Amino acid sequence: MLQQLFEHRRERCHGLEVFNSEAFFWSFPHFLINNFLKMAENGNGNVATENGLAKIQTQKALNGICHDDSGPTVKAKTIDELHSLQTKKSAPSTPNTGISSPFASLSEQERQQLQLQSISASLASLTRETGPKVVKGDPAKSQSQKVEHVHHVHVAPTIAVSDSALKFTHVLYNLSPAELYEQAIKYEKGSFVTSNGALATLSGAKTGRSPRDKRVVKDDVTESELWWGKGSPNIEMDEETFLVNRERAVDYLNSLDKVFVNDQFLNWDPENRIKVRIVSARAYHSLFMHNMCIRPSPEELENFGTPDFTIYNAGKFPCNRFTHYMTSSTSIDLNLARREMVILGTQYAGEMKKGLFSVMHYLMPKRQILSLHSGCNMGKDGDVALFFGLSGTGKTTLSTDHNRYLIGDDEHCWSENGVSNIEGGCYAKCIDLSREKEPDIWNAIRFGTVLENVVFDEHTREVDYSDKSVTENTRAAYPIEYIPNAKLPCVGPHPKNVILLACDAFGVLPPVSKLNLAQTMYHFISGYTALVAGTEDGIKEPQATFSACFGAAFIMLHPTKYAAMLAEKMESHGATGWLVNTGWSGGSYGTGNRIKLSYTRKIIDAIHNGSLLKAEYKKSKIFGLETPTAVEGVPSEILDPVNAWTDKHAYNETLLKLAGLFRKNFETFTNYTIGKGGDNLTEEILAAGPIF
């Protein structure tokens, strides 16, 4: 029987020896052998042998080859060829708008050459007057691939040629998130894919911004335009020192085998957008800025041209501490005349985001556009609200409303066209993040998101958002379209309401107050909130915090200039100002209670729907705030803070204490003139403050 089976197989395969021995056959599992032995004539023409085993009829194979079910072989002759078949070139997905551009008549190769010429010019050394030889692509792949586009800016050098001028600098240009993941995981220690698909990275020794190491070039123009001196975030440096640091950063970047280059936009308003170029040494930084800036379409990228502003991020490479104006190995330098920013000695990605925000605080007011550190949302009827607030005031929570569209969570412009988001993404705090408290942020953390300095399980890669082992300042950077109710494009009409949020831990400010223009300017300039200080001798005491324009670290001009622009726009477009306290009621921190979030949401809803404008108001003492006597869904006894305090004497003392802190803080701004009639405006703002 077995011999007949062998003969049958030989016949089927036209003489090819498939089975060489009976021992090979009996090596098959018993259940297969039993199946063969049980085969018999099946009534379809198969002939059974005398032992009952059916002779299986099959079709003749072509060319004498035994039949199999495999597909055709691949066309590649080498493994590298096979890998090259796996990917294809991206094609522009944005339809041509028909708008002419200086690049419209150029071939693809000419566009590539101009693009590389622009990048080489950006990386040009000022002393050697020459840019590096730049070529697109990963150096790890270039050994087996033909180099098609190379450019070198060449001017007769003033000094001898350097080693870096003899090499190619590979440019990884506007890579996709997937490509940046590959680069980060392969080359950057501390980069991992978490269980939710995000890229977890480490920012090195610095886990936050370094405001004391930020410098701005003081020249003939900026000396008179910018805010210098007491209270100002602008620390001066001279042009020569900036160029020393720029040369150091550029030399470092040119010494690398590869650099990452992002060409992107700021400001969703197409009439006022800014072209930015970011040159960095890490895939983490490139992906972060890919998420945070506005991502150009393929067509916009082809026609990008020369950037309006350039960042040179040398990351961990330090500045020379013996250089004038340097106080540490970290330096973040802005040169507004050259439209350049240099970063040395820090890998914290937030320096790039906030550095560009400072630039917008300088450039936009020159166009009569107000730059704002605020959240912004829009109702279904087109009513827009701005939310200002420092950390812990609830700005993110209250501006993210499922019943309204999110225009942006942090940086905006207010122009004659309305409001527009400056950014293309969100940069959310992750500490103690939960699905229940912040579902939108939770769900936005997925493939493409950058997770900074978080801790995760080494096996499952599940993130523990409560773990502060690396830092408390854990962050997630993701594109704004990851938020379900984001409005795209991120623009809206003129705001109807301007909401200033304060978490008053002293417990003396009303839950909500309607502000006139002078009061809005006063509280906008003050930028007040109160944080709870640490425990000392068992006593907890609130600590007042003031940040001009609710973002003093990023403004470039004097706060009163931004305040005057805000008042002018509010008056022109009929916006109403509100002061909302999300802090304590019935006593200071430790004795009173935090105002319930549900009450604050009812107040915000009443602002949005316009019902709060129709309420009856009474004026409070000291601060002179107009407080409503009733808000639907909010207990009337907490609307006037004094009613919620059992100890009236303690309330009065605390109220006077806070008023004194406001007055002391405002002394910084009293001797500054705002344009024509500035003295009168300053007096008007001062009169809107506390009186006692």
**Average pLDDT score, the chain:** 85
pTM: 0.82
pLDDT at 14: 44
CA 177 – CA 283 distance, rounded (Å): 9
pLDDT confidence of residue 451: 98
CA–CA separation, 570 vs 576, rounded Å? 7
Of 140, 267, 225, nearest to 555 by C-alpha is: 225
- What are the DSSP calls for 341-376, one per residue? EEEES---THHHHHHHHHHHHHHHHHTT-EEEE-EE
Residue 24 CB burial class (10 angstroms; 0-12, 13-18, ≥19) = exposed
Report the catalytic residues.
Answer: 209, 354, 373, 391, 395-396, 410, 475
Flag whether pLDDT at 499 surpasses 70.
yes
- If you average pLDDT over residues 426-437, what whole number do you get? 93
HSE (CB half, 13 Å, CA atoms) of 569? 27
70 or 607, higher pLDDT: 607
In DSSP notation, 477-488 reads EEEGGGSTTB-S
Alpha helix stretches (DSSP H) within 547-586: 559-573
Q: For residue range 45-83, list pLDDT tens digits in order.
A: 444 444 555 555 555 544 554 445 555 656 677 877 766
Reported as a pLDDT band with limits 50, 70 and 90, residue 120 is confident
Contacts of 288 (CB under 8 A, 6+ apart): 349, 352, 353, 450, 477
Q: What pLDDT is stored for residue 2 in this prediction?
A: 45
For 61, the token pair is 């194979």
